[in-house]
A and B are shown apart, each in its own frame.
Chain A
């Protein structure tokens, strides 16, 4: 391909926010952050139309496998703000880190209330790996993907090719100092095979990063299990506070719990409105943003909450007006995905006539409020132990059946990521139970590399055939 053709192709593939939406966008509110700062919609617009495309061109590439791209539904203004939270994450975390706010790497499957309450910023694998990739700016999609892959492959070379891409990509990024992380302190959720052992494998390599983990006891029903877990959370909070030389008060925990409960509530009300609507009012990628914001994964619980408030309002308005989101097919096949760390190809699914209505992993987090009375540590412990996703598999299957009803799903894709052995072990069992008890078709997929740009053809063919079968 000549340089001229390449430039032309890149230009065709590039995504822009059209000028005609600017005026309406500027009328919408901005976002407050926990450090007291505020960005108004004009600042967000400037960033997303000038600075963003210059610094992070990959995010503006329309390639359908590009999971980092902006929502194509440009009139869903909250989506633009989510894009802003996404693309500014690195800047905000570096600033916070310089101001003495501890950055703590955690797993995806956990309530983050104690971390924010302790004055730290918890950061889960997806955004952390994106931050590491963004340490080099100006990359287009291929180069950005290559950079992320390189970090992950360096890690796999050091430890094992059997490592799941998420933890090895994240922990190797910390090892390479591509992200400013002060502590790695996940809960060892039952969902995750690799975090504990990869962390252990790096224990002598990560010299300037404190390492810690909180057990996830599998026997959830015993009174002593709550006591054990609460004790571990207490110790974690003490350690997190220690990073700033501060002690964390119970009222700090209650304040954060209340904020996050409100966010979780908003996220599920928004999702339920989407599922119940005649027309699907937002794209799969905006659905994903709403769900993941309900677990406060963009570095600021206040900004995430405000995003959710705005998204909720917009969704309700669209539902009232019978709006179908841009790019959503008429009468789409509704797909529910099941499995750890599942982020599917929204645009691909929509192109094939389907819409992804959610994933059991991420949805479990927005259905997990923390009790607002009693002992905050025990309340957090009870919530962790009651996570739907972490339940014994037969019970988890019942939760999925419930989600099938709620989301009005036509089909369920059960999948497991390369290296995710606890999930792979029960993926077929879940598919069997859900199919038998809900009557909805299911498939069971091994996904070699979730979220990757290339090499997905085989999985995509199976997904496409499944969608066709349901159409």
Chain B
């Protein structure tokens, strides 16, 4: 039986576009955003409604977008461009301004395209690629301050100390709740699956943040007394998913992983757990928010030349340990160079730790489903055999 709160979240999502329309009719403005490092708290503190844009999994939209961008850009950027071209997406229709941070520069190009072809009010926030240097951090502080000023101009309201504190508190509480949910779903026996949690995380793309936080707290309370979900097999090999974005609408590889008998228990996807893993606003100020974003689990688009300084890789290793993952599924989209080019090294680093690794390189088209299924089944089987060999390994959750 499905958890009641999950149904409530679905209902809230269903009525959200109409709510946004109403809010806009009443003079409120919606700030749509794309990429990874848009400090959402500031949108909220400025009295705007934040909506995280961008879907996946629809090859028709990919083709539409490909007419503007090119067939040699990742399917996600192609689909977003297609969504803007069509203009029928409920959230895009209800967006007054679009903000894109320059973490992945293919998305920066999307910003240029939607500005030119679809005449949308679009702004960018620079993200330093030398992000670990003092100069890079300072640059991001300045960019964040400029972003805050643009928000104030759009909303016609100042970001006050109170509104900022309120926003930071709400977002901090949301992050804490998501972390708690992730811990629960990863238990050997659990009332909620990772897949369900992943959907909950992506509900945050759209829902009002107060409503969302309340629903998260309700969900956590309901889970405390909920029965174990019998569909979650405690014996299934535990998988960490990493790599390119898996946005709302795209469940191709995730479904196949589960159909093949694997159990995803953790991810570091930027459309999933990554923004919740360790974002920590230590000081309630614009600078404090900038620092929290630039110091958190980094997006794969930000290159790091010294492996010892690679926090992303360190975090993956830690997550494998904490979540007792048996293997890593590395999902890469074609033409997503920042993740694709990391695959070989990640594989060899994990090999040294005796962690099996499988890269699935794909797009949204369905033509490779059977080939992926075969590879995933073989991978899951190999994880099972390893488990048998290392008998007595399975721990009691985390």
Contacts and interface: CB of A to CB of B under 8 A. Distances in A.
A135 interface: no
B305 A200 contact: yes
Interface in A314-342: none
Contacts of B70: 416, 424-425, 427-428, 446
A200 B109 contact: no
B306 interface: yes
B380 interface: no
A322 to B, nearest CB: 43
26 contacts: A160-B337, A160-B340, A162-B335, A162-B337, A163-B337, A196-B129, A197-B341, A199-B303, A213-B130, A214-B130, A216-B129, A218-B108, A219-B125, A225-B126, A225-B139, A232-B135, A418-B72, A421-B106, A422-B109, A424-B69, A425-B70, A425-B113, A429-B68, A429-B112, A429-B116, A429-B117
Contacts of B143: 219, 222, 224
Contacts of A188: 129, 303
B124 interface: yes
A204 B345 contact: yes
Interface in B31-46: none
A203 B309 CA distance: 12
Contacts of A213: 129-130, 303, 305
Contact of B340 (A158, A162, A416): A162
A159 B70 CA distance: 23
A194 to B, nearest CB: 6
B344 interface: yes
B77 A232 contact: no
A421 B337 contact: yes
A215 B305 contact: no
Contact of B73 (A204, A418, A424, A433): A424
B142 A222 contact: yes
A215 B113 contact: no
B106 A422 contact: yes
Given A159-B341, A211-B305, A424-B70, 17 more contacts: A158-B344, A190-B105, A199-B305, A203-B345, A213-B130, A217-B139, A219-B125, A224-B139, A227-B139, A228-B138, A393-B116, A419-B72, A424-B69, A424-B73, A426-B112, A428-B68, A446-B71
A212 interface: yes
B397 interface: no
Most chain B beta-carbon contacts within 10 A, residue among A158, A160, A425: A425
A215 B130 contact: yes
Interface in B203-227: none
A201 B139 contact: no
Q: Which size bracket describes the interface of B in this complex?
A: 35 or more
Interface in B62-106: 67-74, 77, 102, 105-106
A401 interface: no
B335 A421 contact: yes
A218 B306 contact: no
A201 B341 contact: yes
A185 B135 CA distance: 18
Given A421-B73, A422-B105, A197 B337 contact: yes
Contacts of A273: none
Contact of A446 (B72, B105, B108, B113): B72
A224 B135 CA distance: 10
Given A217-B128, A424-B72, A394 B136 contact: no
A224 B138 contact: yes
A193 B105 contact: yes
A392 interface: yes
A218 B124 contact: yes
Contacts of A422: 105-106, 108-109
B335 to A, nearest CB: 6
A198 interface: yes
Given A228-B128, A446-B70, A425 B337 contact: no
A231 interface: yes
A425 B69 CA distance: 4
Contacts of B106: 193, 421-422, 425
Contacts of B69: 424-425, 428
Interface of A: 158-160, 162-163, 188, 190, 193-194, 196-201, 203-204, 211-219, 222, 224-225, 227-228, 231-232, 235, 392-394, 416, 418-422, 424-429, 433, 446
Nearest to B66: A428
B128 A215 contact: yes
Nearest to B145: A224
B142 A224 contact: yes
Contact of A201 (B74, B129, B334, B345): B345
Interface in B114-135: 115-117, 124-126, 128-130, 133, 135
B25 interface: no
B345 to A, nearest CB: 6
Nearest to A210: B305
B68 A392 contact: no
Contacts of A428: 67-70
A392 B111 CA distance: 10
A375 to B, nearest CB: 15
Contacts of B343: 160
Interface in B322-344: 334-335, 337-338, 340-344
A394 to B, nearest CB: 6
Nearest to A218: B102
3 interchain residue pairs of minimum CB distance: A425-B109, A219-B126, A224-B142
Given A190-B105, A198-B341, A228 B305 contact: no
B161 interface: no
Contacts of A227: 135, 138-139
Contacts of A418: 72
B76 to A, nearest CB: 12
B168 to A, nearest CB: 24
Contacts of B340: 160, 162
Contacts of A392: 112
Contacts of B135: 227-228, 231-232, 235
Contacts of A393: 109, 112, 116
